[in-house]
Chain A
């Protein structure tokens, strides 16, 4: 299981800005190891976010997203106290969900 994500959600002016920092290797599949063999790609493919259990965002990522990915988005109508959950799934089928409260 991967390390937890760091999620910060701040409400201002009728929307909440959510910043997520995930912990993932994001191996591009282009790199070679010391023996000259390609390191297989290992990256987050799907990212979804929910507000109080209702899906608000889904995204697909490629291996070109940087290591330990950062993502920022804004949810309309979210207010202080709402719960934001973010889930990612990588190309090995590993998945992780973390939740934060809008402040």
Chain B
């Protein structure tokens, strides 16, 4: 036999669990959460509607060969191709692969640079999502001597 007091206590616990579990989703509603939660390069590209992934010479990734400080690794992505919808910068071995996504419009060149955090030495990718759903990538290995995630 369950008393009314016990029932109330249990429902409060359940409500609390729901509130904590549900919170991150609400906080990031207007944002491609699947893409930034994806663990692998393929999953992240898929979250932006890419059907297939192929290596291409027309996409370039720029970055250092050796990054002394993993907290600030300058990375750039660019492409000479027409019909690019989005350019993605990814670090394969980070907890979540996707670093940044740039929408390419007629008004800007498909050439972006930013700085990323890298937890360990890893391949970095530039992925161009084309208007026809294809995804073309370029990759480069960056060695990190001091990690930027954690500690």
Q: Select from chain B the residue with minimum beta-carbon distance to A62.
A: B36
CB neighbours (8 Å) of B28 from chain A are 45, 91
Q: Is the CB of A57 within 8 A of B71?
A: no
Size band of the interface chain A makes with B: 35 or more
A85 at interface (Cβ–Cβ under 8 A)?
no
Q: Is the CB of A60 within 8 A of B95?
A: no
With A and B bound together, what is the CA distance between A100 and B76 in angstroms?
23
Q: Is the CB of A60 within 8 A of B31?
A: yes
Other-chain contact of B103, A51, A57, A62, A75 (Cβ < 8 Å) = A57
A46 at interface (Cβ–Cβ under 8 A)?
yes
A31 at interface (Cβ–Cβ under 8 A)?
yes
Q: Select from chain B the residue with minimum beta-carbon distance to A41.
A: B24
CB neighbours (8 Å) of B102 from chain A are 57-59, 73
What 1/0 flags go to B81-124 for Cβ under 8 Å of A?
A: 00000000001001110111111011111011111111100000
Given contacts A46-B31, A57-B102, A64-B96, contact A30 B111 (CB under 8 A): no
CB neighbours (8 Å) of B71 from chain A are 66-67
Say how far A86's CB is from chain B's closest CB, in angstroms. 12
Which residues A16-65 have CB closer than 8 A to chain B? 26, 28, 30-32, 45-46, 49, 51, 54-65
Q: Is the CB of A65 within 8 A of B117?
A: yes
Q: Is the CB of A62 within 8 A of B96?
A: yes
CB neighbours (8 Å) of B117 from chain A are 26, 28, 64-67
Show the binding face of B for A, using Cβ within 8 Å.
Answer: 27-28, 30-32, 35-36, 71-74, 76, 91, 94-96, 98-103, 105-109, 111-119, 148-151
Show the binding face of A for B, using Cβ within 8 Å.
Answer: 15, 26, 28, 30-32, 45-46, 49, 51, 54-67, 69-77, 91-92
| Pairs of residues from A and B, 9 with the lowest C-beta to C-beta distance, nearest first | A56-B107, A72-B113, A74-B109, A66-B115, A62-B36, A64-B99, A59-B102, A60-B101, A66-B72
